[in-house]
Chains A and B, each alone.
Chain A
Amino acid sequence: QSVLTQPPSVSAAPGQKVTISCSGSSSNIGNNYVSWYQQLPGTAPKLLIYDNNKRPSGIPDRFSGSKSGTSATLGITGLQTGDEADYYCGTWDSSLSAGQVFGGGTKLTVL
């Protein structure tokens, strides 16, 4: 059971938009920055979004992030077949069991 809750899967057609949610609590998302990672099949995760809504150099603006209260959302527009991957949210948890936590991951299928 992950500290952060993500839907197991989402799907959409090429060219469409999809959002992936990440729900937490005041000890993690509510008081810390959120990052998002893309993991293509058989590869290492790659940073997509940091500090809730910032994109590293080289990440297209089709990818966006937002945060409100204890939840965060990753948005992907203009879906491409190459976007099929697992997506993970992550943040720091400041509770007594402090540490880096991740969501369980969401499998994106581009139909």
Chain B
Amino acid sequence: QVQLQESGPGLVKPSETLSLTCAVSGYSISSGYYWGWIRQPPGKGLEWIGSIYHSGSTYYNPSLKSRVTISVDTSKNQFSLKLSSVTAADTAVYYCARHTLRLSNWFDPWGQGTLVTVSS
């Protein structure tokens, strides 16, 4: 079955860039679907960050768009997130998920999530 696994530093300093990668197994990213990033601050709700198609086409959350870059590497079957100029408000569990988009929309499956703390 399709599985996603996030990886990256668990601690990032303020003003620096947060970088995460999501490795996909059991499905080829090139076969279709969008692939998304969602985050959840401690004790709070879900916030969509953005999603990317295997062609590189992207959708970003307008509130984060100026700081976000999502890229895809089909050769490694993975996609990545970069969030620049981070502050403590970016501390959250970051999830990656397969995103059905166009005509319908849902996220399934999800990775287990990775906690990223922004602190000096």
Binding site for B on A (CB under 8 A): 2, 32-33, 35, 37, 43-47, 50-51, 56, 88, 90-92, 97-105
Measured in the bound complex, the distance between the Cα atoms of B59 and A98 in whole Å is 9
5 closest residue pairs by CB, A with B: A47-B108, A35-B106, A100-B48, A50-B106, A44-B110
Interface centre among B48, B106, B108 (most CB of A within 10 A): B106
- Tell whether, in the assembled complex, residue B62 and residue A99 are in contact, meaning their CB atoms are under 8 Å apart: yes
CB distance from B85 to the nearest CB of A (A): 20
Contacting residues, chain A, for B113 (C-beta < 8 A): 44
- B interface majority secondary structure: strand
Chain A-chain B contacts (Cβ-Cβ < 8 Å), number: 69
Q: Write out the residue numbers on chain A whose beta carbons fall within 8 Å of the beta carbon of B101.
A: 92
- State which size class the interface on B falls in: 20 to 34
Contact A102 B46 (CB under 8 A): yes
6 A-B residue pairings within 8 Å (CB atoms):
A33-B104, A44-B111, A88-B46, A90-B46, A92-B105, A100-B51
CA distance in complex: A56, B109 (Å): 11
Pair B46/A91 contact, Cβ less than 8 Å? no
Contact of B95 among A44, A90, A97, A98 (CB under 8 A): A44
- Determine the chain A residues whose CB is within 8 A of the CB of B106 once the complex forms: 33, 35, 47, 50-51, 90
Asked if residues B45 and A88 are in contact (CB atoms below 8 Å), the reply is: yes
B46 — which chain A residues lie within 8 A by C-beta?
Answer: 37, 45, 88, 90, 102, 105
Known A-B contacts A35-B105, A44-B112, A91-B105; A50 and B47 likewise in contact (beta carbons under 8 Å): no
Query: Is B62 a contact of A98 with CB atoms below 8 Å?
Result: yes
Question: Is A46 within 8 A of B105, CB to CB?
Answer: no
CA distance A111 to B66 in the complex (A): 45
Contact with A along B20-56 (1 / 0, CB 8 A): 0000000000000000101000000111100100000
Q: Distance (Å) between the CB of B114 and the closest chain A CB? A: 10
